[in-house]
Amino acid sequence: MTQQVLIVEDDSTIREVMADALAEEGYAVAQAQNGEEALAEIERERPALILLDMRLPVLDGWGFARRLSEMGLSIPIVIVTATHNTETWAKEIGAVGYLAKPFDLIDLLSVVERHCRIPG
Amino acid sequence: MPRPLRALLVEDSEDDALLVARELRKSNFAPETLRVETRLAMEAALDQRVWDIVIADYSLPHFSAVAALDLLRERGLDLPFIVVSGAIGEETAVAALRAGAHDFLVKGNWARLGPAIERELHEAANRRERARANRALLFLAEASRDLSGSLDVETTLQRVTRLGVPELADLCVLDLDDEHGNLRRGAVVQAVHLDPSLARSVSLLSAPASSSDHPVAVAHRTGRTQLLADLSEEGWFRLRGHDQVGPIEALKLRSLIAVPLLARGRVLGVLSFARGADRPSYDGADVALAEELAWRAALAIDNARLYAAERHARAEAEKAVHLRDEFLSIAAHELKTPITSLRANAQLMLRRLDRGSALDEERVIRAFQLIDQQSDKLAQLIAQLLDISRLEAGKLSLDRRETDLVALVEGLADGARARTDIHTVAVRAPDRLTADVDPLRLEQVLTNLIDNAIKYSPSGGEIEIDLDLAPNDEVRIIVRDHGIGIPAERRAHIFDRFYQAHVEPALGGLGLGLHISRQIVELHGGTLSAEFPPEGGSRFVVNLPRRGSAEQSAASDEDSGVGVQDPENTIRAGDIGGVL
């Protein structure tokens, strides 16, 4: 079965290029514009990894992470955000990793690879 | 000429009293005497008036010199005291001196009386001066301690005024310089025995006009102490016509000192002291004491003000730094978003080429479109940053020319229609309307308003642009949307620098658009205001004079519309300029 990666990102250009790159590497990709949409995606199919922007409309990264733990779900999260304190934010929500924007595509692919076993 | 002498005689013999009076006249005094022979009578005499000397028989049937000395001590009175006695033994003399008498003589030896009184009057005057100097020192030490106790301006002003009463004055008034060099009544303190309503009326009076000849005004103007020792007929005449006269007359004040408060070469105000008719008139020693007190008061007020100014400046600086940090963080985030998208796309294309996979035409077109859009977004952000930097430095200038506003608005409406499928853009305008404006800057303002209208009506709808000429030859441009509007609690801040009406980052941006737009409109001599109709959405109104005046300064912060104020925007050029 293909490992699914969920991208939670409000900027459509960034979200789409991330999705294209991961799809071309063989991952199944789901997309959400904010925390609420992400929770709905997870209801539909549980991803192996969540790539999470923190500054989001409706429900931001912190709110999303809290809701996730309230639901008793433990899905690894890598935060992808443009701030000088990415590491602090990652710790705050218990993320397994972080990527600072603007990121290198190669770093995106390697962090995803580290947290998802690529099928056969 | 004989010198007046108020002599209290403690004596049971009327004859002896007459004898003493005669001897005093012989010694060139003009005596005013009163004979008492009991403690009660002496108490009454002390209550009645001030005495220069007491001349006492050693022993009386119902009183004595020693008992009289006790009474003076109880009263805290230091009066020259001479014992005159018939038969005086050595023991008696020693006892009298021990009890506090200053001299003694035997009745009949009158030649000694005159010189003894002269000497004792002189000694008593010396003792009084020393006591007064000591009191003044203690008073000033106390004043210094009290004034150094607080750095709060109001507390210091109250303390300064309170210090003068009752030691130096029955009424103490503090008038302070305002920023225009006029005096303003600061504080009034009065002695407890005065009618409180009178002092209250003094505190409600305005300070004397700075150009008047009122002693307070003169002290303020010249920086020199003014003394009106005795408000005699002449003094009252001088004060007549000033508001202060009524209460001063009513308070039966006799004497007045007005001392300028000087600190660092500047007159901060005037401290005035006034004394009632039941106390001695002010003299040179009182002036010296008042000046010492005023000097300490001025220093304390100056310190308190410096401290307050320093604290205010620090708070402002901290606020400015905080605002700048917040702005930098937002600016960095906004700039990083298009850069992230550009880099990721470029790297993805390279990766595809690397892998030798075919680049289909559709993908290439999409990539270039994205590069075009995202680089345009970056250019706009940078233009905004440059604009705000120029505005802060006062270096944004207009390039005015006769402009066809109808064509300009129609062109912007066409551009807006091309950017959205879910909004309709309607323009209502006359056939032709020209104005003397900077077309590029006005276009920037209207683009900002139209983009906001689109952005804040995310589910689509009609956007109306009205252009017309108001009767006062002002051009009016209205951009109206029917979108989500602006939450009531945020409306007051939408024109603030770095302010975003919506915290949701999806609707983000630098939060500079409206701030820059308003500044541009104001540079044109016009106004930009926002209205929020009850049926929803927003209505932004630009008013522009059709003809720009030669020298159009940055317009005032007068607000029309929602009465938007700009309290945060107090930092000026340089605060931000350095980092942009």
In Å, what is the CA distance from A51 to each residue of A82, B123, B573? Answer: 13, 100, 41
pLDDT number for residue B246: 57
Sequence-ordered alpha helix ranges (H) in B110-228: 113-147, 153-163, 196-204, 215-222
CB contact under 8 A, A104 and B373: no
pLDDT number for residue B248: 58
CB contact under 8 A, A82 and B333: yes
**Can you say whether the dihedral through the CA atoms of B211, B215, B219, B224 is positive or negative?**
positive
CB contact under 8 A, A10 and B336: no
Sort out which chain B residues have CB atoms less than 8 A from A56's CB and list them: 505-506
CB contact under 8 A, B340 and A56: no
CB contact under 8 A, A33 and B337: no
d(CA B100, CA B112) in angstroms, rounded, equals 19
What are the beta bridge partners of residue B468?
A: B476
Sequence-ordered alpha helix ranges (H) in B8-112: 14-26, 39-48, 65-74, 90-98
pLDDT number for residue B119: 92
pLDDT number for residue B507: 46
Buried b (16+ CB within 10 A) or exposed e, B258-293: bbbbbbeeebbbbbbbbbbeeeebbeeebbebbbbb
pLDDT number for residue B566: 41
pLDDT number for residue B394: 82
CB contact under 8 A, B344 and A17: yes
Mind telling me how many Å the CA of B510 is from chain A's nearest CA? 14
pLDDT tens by residue, B98-110: 888 898 888 888 8
pLDDT number for residue B466: 95
DSSP B478: E
pLDDT number for residue B67: 93
pLDDT tens by residue, B376-433: 889 988 888 888 888 878 888 888 999 999 999 999 999 999 888 899 999 999 989 9
pLDDT number for residue A120: 42
Residue A83 has pLDDT above 90, yes or no: no
Amino acid at B448: N
DSSP A56: -
Mind telling me how many Å the CA of B418 is from chain A's nearest CA? 19
DSSP three-state, residue B183: strand
In A, minimum Cα distance to B348 occurs at: A21
pLDDT tens by residue, A18-75: 999 999 888 999 999 999 999 999 999 999 999 999 888 888 899 999 999 998 888 9
| B259: Cβ contacts below 8 Å, ≥ 6 apart | B219, B225, B270, B271, B272, B273, B287, B290, B291, B293, B294
Please indicate if any CB of chain A lies within 8 Å of the CB of B209: no
Mind telling me how many Å the CA of A2 is from chain B's nearest CA? 22
Q: Return the residue in A7, A12, A14 with the most chain B beta carbons within 10 A, the one to mutate for interface testing.
A: A14
d(CA B8, CA B52) in angstroms, rounded, equals 8
Q: Which residues of chain B have pLDDT under 50?
A: 501-507, 550-580
Amino acid at B261: L
pLDDT number for residue B238: 56
